[in-house]
Amino acid sequence: MDRRTKEQVAAELHEKLKDFKLAVLTGYIGMDVAKMTALRVALRKSNTELRVVKNTLLTIASRETDFSALEEYFRGPLAVAITRGNVVETTKALVDFAKKNANLEIKAAMMNGKFLSREQLSILAELPSREVLIGQLLSLMVGVQASLVNVLSGVPRNLVGVLDAYREKKASAN
């Protein structure tokens, strides 16, 4: 690459690293083109871009961004997965792919300005999807309302039961 192209790539990557929800740094030693293509396709489903970047260009592009905190991991062949979409889907795709392909090494990540280790990414990947979490929250909210209605209707129901028992007692006494 000539200098102008490198500057252009670094500037483009800098813009992406300024505004991301999740950026994951991965090593890919020994992965062939077919596996990299399969990884890119899997990540594209979650609106994630995977870029293979030289370490020097990544160092330049990450200046004045939150991603510069990961500079100690900029060694060896690197690929950066950057997403502005669903963070959980991206981590699930990366962790699942890494489990199936030992050549993909998840090194570290940044999410909303905070460092995430491999272990934290694995925990994040185990979370249910956004839709499932919303469904669980909704069922919890509906369950609370149903319980409240049941409790509030219990007092009049018990009163009616007591009055009915009293009526039956009076009727049987006559």
- Specify the CATH number of the domain 3-127: 3.30.70.1730
**How high is the pLDDT of residue 126?**
87
**How high is the pLDDT of residue 129?**
78
**How high is the pLDDT of residue 150?**
83
| Largest Cα–Cα separation, the chain | 109
pLDDT greater than 80 at residue 1: no
Tell me: the pLDDT tens digits for 66-119?
888 888 888 889 999 999 888 888 899 999 999 998 889 999 899 888 898 888
User: In sequence order, what DSSP letters do the residues of 58-127 get, joined into one string?
Assistant: HHHHTTTSGGGGGGGG--SSEEEEEESS-HHHHHHHHHHHHHH-TT-EEEEEEETTEEE-HHHHHHHHTS
Tell me: the pLDDT tens digits for 34-59?
999 999 998 988 889 999 988 888 88
Q: How confident is the model at residue 26 (pLDDT cuts 50, 70, 90)?
A: very high
Domain residue spans of the chain: 3-127, 129-174
**How high is the pLDDT of residue 81?**
92
Residues 6+ apart with CB under 8 A from 119: none
Q: How confident is the model at residue 9 (pLDDT cuts 50, 70, 90)?
A: confident
Percent of the chain whose predicted confidence (pLDDT) is above 90: 13
Overall pTM > 0.85: no
pLDDT greater than 80 at residue 22: yes
**How high is the pLDDT of residue 70?**
86
**Measured between alpha carbons, how far is 67 from 89 in angstroms, rounded to an integer?**
20
Tell me: the pLDDT tens digits for 138-170?
888 888 888 888 888 888 888 888 888 899 988
Residues 6+ apart with CB under 8 A from 104: 26, 27, 28, 31, 35, 39, 94, 97, 98
CB 80 within 8 A of CB 48: no
Closest CA to 93 of 52, 27, 49: 49
**How high is the pLDDT of residue 80?**
92
